[in-house]
């Protein structure tokens, strides 16, 4: 009986992570990133349309390191702490959006 409960708990956690991506991260990408990093554009050879493409990365390397926000170039870029790595380049995302990206990467970047 306990094994069934553990599976249910893990399934619910996974569903929560996927919902977080669908409600917070995917819209953020669509609004702020796809113009330059969608299917039709690949600035820096980086596309953000699938998890696999984020993991493959672009000219600078993998965009994310699942479980490690500090080691993820995407997180570093949206924080705007380096003049050479700023995304989106014209303006910084809201603090809440950055925190959502950090949380998403920390939870393994579910898609």
The token pair that represents 90 in the structure block: 């014209």
Q: What average pLDDT does the chain have? A: 93
Give the 3-state DSSP-derived string for the chain, with helices as H, strands as E and coil as C.
CHHHHHHHHHHHHHHHHHHHHHHHHHHHHHHHCHHHHCCCCCHHHCCCCCHHHHHHCECCECCCCCCCHHHCHHHHHHHCCECCECCCCCCCCCHHHHHHHHHHHHCCCCC
CA distance 63 to 110: 14
* Average pLDDT of span 25-46: 92
Residue 2, pLDDT score: 63
Lowest mean pLDDT among 38-42, 51-55, 66-70, 90-94: 38-42
Q: Which pLDDT belongs to residue 97?
A: 98
Mean pLDDT, to the nearest integer, of 14-38?
95
C-alpha torsion sign, points 52, 74, 28, 105:
positive
The highest-confidence range among 5-14, 41-50, 82-91, 102-111, by mean pLDDT, is 102-111
**Residue, of 40 and 21, whose pLDDT is higher:** 21
Which pTM does this prediction carry? 0.89
């Amino acid at each position: 009986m306990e094994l069934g409960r553990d599976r249910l708990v893990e399934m619910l956690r996974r569903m929560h992570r996927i919902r977080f991506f669908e409600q917070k991260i995917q819209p953020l990408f669509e609004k702020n990133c796809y113009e330059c990093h969608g299917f039709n554009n690949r600035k820096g050879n980086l596309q953000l349309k699938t998890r696999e493409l984020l993991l493959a990365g672009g000219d600078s390397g993998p965009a994310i390191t699942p479980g490690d926000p500090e080691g993820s170039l995407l997180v570093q870029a949206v924080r705007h702490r380096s003049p050479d790595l700023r995304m989106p380049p014209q303006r910084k995302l809201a603090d809440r959006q950055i925190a959502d990206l950090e949380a998403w990467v920390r939870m393994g970047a579910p898609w």
